């Protein structure tokens, strides 16, 4: 894999505001115009947590002003149980966004 392409990919990933750092990047040619790329991405957990908490607080504020407790209890339970899924989904979205940008900018 050409070093220039490897550096371009790394640069694109680093531009993502949710990426804190990347390391152990490797690229291997697997054929004509084909390669395999791998890296360890460290996400900015604090930024992700903060943004998710802002969303959670908005929803929580709305829930606490509902007139009936039964409605609130169910929604609060759903809100709490879905939080881990929301975090994993946000990371998945950021990985997909990086991949799509790499394809567009590197013309793969």
Sign of CA dihedral 26, 107, 92, 12: positive
Q: Is pLDDT at 70 greater than 70 in this prediction?
A: no
Q: Which of 2-11, 57-66, 93-102 has the lowest average pLDDT?
A: 57-66
Residue 38 has which token pair? 């791998």
Q: Is pLDDT at 22 greater than 80 in this prediction?
A: yes
Q: Is pLDDT at 30 greater than 80 in this prediction?
A: yes
68 vs 70: CA distance, rounded Å:
6
The residue extents of the domains of the chain are 3-106
Q: What is the pLDDT of residue 58?
A: 78
Per-residue confidence band for 63, with pLDDT thresholds at 50, 70 and 90: low
User: Which residues have a Cβ under 8 Å from the Cβ of 87 and sit 6 or more positions away?
Assistant: 48, 49, 52
Residue 6 has which token pair? 């490897």
Q: Is pLDDT at 4 greater than 80 in this prediction?
A: yes
């Amino acid at each position: 894999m050409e070093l220039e392409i490897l550096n371009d990919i790394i640069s694109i990933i680093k531009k993502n505001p949710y990426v804190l750092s990347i390391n152990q990047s490797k690229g291997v040619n697997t054929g004509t115009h084909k390669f395999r790329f791998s890296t360890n991405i460290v996400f900015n957990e604090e930024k992700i947590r903060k943004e998710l908490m802002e969303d959670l607080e908005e929803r929580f504020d709305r829930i606490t002003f509902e007139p009936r407790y039964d409605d609130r209890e169910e929604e609060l339970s759903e809100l709490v149980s879905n939080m881990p899924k929301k975090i994993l989904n946000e990371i998945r979205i950021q990985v997909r966004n990086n991949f799509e940008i790499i394809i567009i900018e590197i013309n793969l």
